[in-house]
Structure 1
Amino acid sequence: MEYLLDFADEHVLDKAYAYLLPAKDFLPTTSSLLKETASARLSNSSTSSTLASFASTLYKHIPHPPVDLSNALTSPLASAWPRDYIPRQFASLYLITLLGIVLMYFSIATMSYYFIFNHEMMNHPRFLKGQVKMEIKSSCIAFPWITLMTVPWFVAEVRGYGSYYNKIEDYGIAYAIFSIPFFLLFTDTAIYWIHRIEHHPSIYKHVHKPHHKWIIPTPFASHAFHPLDGYVQSVPYHLFPALFPLHKKIYLGLFTAVNFWSIFIHDSDMVTGSRFEKIINGPAHHTLHHLYFTVNYGQYFTLSDRLGNSYRQPAPELDPIHEVNRRKEAQLLEQKLKAE
């Protein structure tokens, strides 16, 4: 996230913070006017009352960073909140992460919905009325809360905590390549057990049940979680670089890829016969998980399910499209009988 934060600071956020919280307003001679100045500036925006109240609260409760007086008087981009100020980093990363997940969700899930998802599945008897809208609403409610719980990990990253590194030569190209399958195997195993524990009756109804409302999911169900459920299942992605060295760009790529994968496996697809079917936990496997609940808990691989005796092999006869076809045939027969 450090690369995204630096890019956002340079092109957008430096100007935004300089406008909203200019350094000159924090000079010792005018610091008493901060509250009024911030409120006055924010009152001109469309979200005046909320932002003004927020600025007032920050002024009262957050320690103010030291201001470079010479820079404050000469630079138009001087903000009272410098780039390395923790509240600024938290706020910036929250906005970047939330915007990123929302854009990715709506772009990738929409493309998957229109170009991959079989719309005949919407005629399945267990497909809910208005389900797509409910999936989107559930996701949009969850995103701000999941992001809020996730951002501390990203703040720790940009402040130098964890085992992230910048230069491939620090650990060599061989380790950099190895770290990719290592990350996937580690996170898959951890998510398997988190997911399986969430299916325990004492936990399931409180945390994971909302996601299983979608028996026949669409790609929009990929992030339609209870916020705590969505966050807990993401913890292994952050735990890995806290324990093992991981190049920052590789981490950013993997974090993006796993979110793509989450969308991909929620398209209710039951195409079978792939040579990798017994190794890779794909859409067919996850479709069976939503249908039968207690099988195929894994995220990318089938190994943990095999070892945990929870694996179910996808097969053509298990395809939920058969139920759709039977329902269609019954409706045609009913119409024919009525016509006679």
Structure 2
Amino acid sequence: MEDYLTLFVDETSFYNRIVLGNLLPDHLWKPLPHIIVAWLRNYIGGLTLYFISGFLWSFYIYYWKRNVYLSQDFIPSYESILLQIMVTMKAMPWYSALPSVSEYMIESGWTRCYSSISEVGWPAYLAYLIVYLGIVEFGIYWMHRELHDIKALYKHLHATHHIYNKQNTLSPFAGLAFHPLDGILQGLPHVIALFVVPTHLMTLMILFFTEGIWTTNIHDCIHGNLWPVMGAGYHTIHHTTYRHNYGHYTIWMDWMFGTLIDPKEDSKKVS
């Protein structure tokens, strides 16, 4: 078992070398404990992804395609975007802890993670991935919904994100602008699923960083209209009504539990 677990350590060490080895002198990070190195790598990776995706997408929709996707009235102010960045910067060190702790649990053999797809085969890999995503979708839906329904959680945690409640206050940079504990709670289903269904480590790493890109996308107020994706059109409604469209990647949970509002429906039905 110990020999097998070294495969996980070797893989995460490889990721460390890719990120930190190209940015920092070895003496600044190699002597650090493995979990701290993982945190530093996730922190730098998270910041890089946040700013690159946020700036590129903002440049595209607010300048290059100005007034094509959004009218002038729906473009957020510089002050709103700066506030979103500041909130995210305060939370990012804490966000980075969740994947780092997940890696520690995987390397310790506490989860059902596996190292190589060849161990299970492609059919099983795809089946496990579908189950994993289903658990995440269900978990994030209910975690998000309870952050609204439980007044104390909303007041002290989730309200930080919901100050962006109009189209002209939402932007790609709002995607990670949460209270740190709020962001961690909504990421917990990813971790819980590791104990339930066999999960491929590299796929897990990709999914964690896909979250950053996804949250950028669903806060841009542009309705992609791609069924059954819970795109920005749905999520903008969530920010304006506070009680619909809690889902993450798809509309299925909201459809199942009666909280779905389609962006194409008459606005009177939203109230």
TM range (shorter): 0.7 to 0.9
Corresponding residue pairs, total: 249
Structure 2 counterpart SS, 1:221: helix
2:21 corresponds to which residue? 12
**1:5-56: per-residue Cα shift (whole Å, max 9, x none)?**
234358839x956x469xxxxxxxxxxxxxxxxxxxxxxxxxxxxxxxxxxx
Kindly indicate whether the alpha-carbon contact (under 8 Å) linking 1:127 and 1:214 is maintained by their aligned counterparts in 2. Answer: no
CA separation of 1:293/1:124 partners in 2, compared to 1, >3 Å: closer, same or farther?
farther
2:52 corresponds to which residue? 107
2:3 corresponds to which residue? none
Q: In the aligned structure 2, how far is the partner of 1:316 from the partner of 1:110?
A: 31
Root-mean-square deviation (Å): 2.7
Q: Say if 2:196 is the partner of 1:238.
A: no
Q: Which moved more, 1:213-222 or 1:180-189?
A: 180-189
Kindly indicate whether the alpha-carbon contact (under 8 Å) linking 1:195 and 1:297 is maintained by their aligned counterparts in 2. Answer: yes
**1:170-224: per-residue Cα shift (whole Å, max 9, x none)?**
2221011122222222101100000000002232111100101112310000000
What is the correspondence of 1:138-177 to structure 2 with a 5 Å cutoff? 138-177=87-126
Kindly indicate whether the alpha-carbon contact (under 8 Å) linking 1:270 and 1:316 is maintained by their aligned counterparts in 2. Answer: no
2:243 corresponds to which residue? 294
1:264 corresponds to which residue? 217
CA separation of 1:108/1:129 partners in 2, compared to 1, >3 Å: closer, same or farther?
closer
Equivalent AA in structure 2 for residue 267 of structure 1: D
Q: In the aligned structure 2, how far is the partner of 1:245 from the partner of 1:223?
A: 28
**Which ranges of structure 2 fall in alignment gaps of 5 or more residues?**
1-7
Structure 2 counterpart SS, 1:130: helix
CA separation of 1:20/1:195 partners in 2, compared to 1, >3 Å: closer, same or farther?
closer
1:249 corresponds to which residue? 202
1:211 corresponds to which residue? 161
**1:216-266: per-residue Cα shift (whole Å, max 9, x none)?**
310000000000000000011122122211111221222222321111111
What is the correspondence of 1:1-340 to structure 2 with a 5 Å cutoff? 2=9, 3-9=11-17, 12=21, 19=27, 88-116=33-61, 124=73, 130-200=79-149, 201-215=151-165, 216=167, 217-272=170-225, 274=226, 276=227, 279-315=228-264, 318=267
Q: In the aligned structure 2, how far is the partner of 1:143 from the partner of 1:96?
A: 12
Displacement of 1:315: 1.1
Q: Which moved more, 1:165-174 or 1:97-106?
A: 165-174
Kindly indicate whether the alpha-carbon contact (under 8 Å) linking 1:210 and 1:226 is maintained by their aligned counterparts in 2. Answer: yes
Structure 1 counterpart SS, 2:33: helix
Q: In the aligned structure 2, how far is the partner of 1:188 from the partner of 1:130?
A: 33
Kindly indicate whether the alpha-carbon contact (under 8 Å) linking 1:271 and 1:316 is maintained by their aligned counterparts in 2. Answer: no
CA separation of 1:172/1:271 partners in 2, compared to 1, >3 Å: closer, same or farther?
closer
Kindly indicate whether the alpha-carbon contact (under 8 Å) linking 2:223 and 2:231 is maintained by their aligned counterparts in 1. Answer: no
Q: In the aligned structure 1, how far is the partner of 2:177 from the partner of 2:13?
A: 27
Identity between Structure 1 and Structure 2 (%): 23
Q: Which moved more, 1:212-221 or 1:120-129?
A: 120-129
Q: In the aligned structure 1, how far is the partner of 2:196 from the partner of 2:134?
A: 14
Equivalent AA in structure 2 for residue 189 of structure 1: F
CA separation of 1:147/1:167 partners in 2, compared to 1, >3 Å: closer, same or farther?
closer
Kindly indicate whether the alpha-carbon contact (under 8 Å) linking 1:270 and 1:283 is maintained by their aligned counterparts in 2. Answer: yes
Kindly indicate whether the alpha-carbon contact (under 8 Å) linking 1:207 and 1:226 is maintained by their aligned counterparts in 2. Answer: yes
**Which ranges of structure 1 fall in alignment gaps of 5 or more residues?**
22-78, 82-86, 319-340
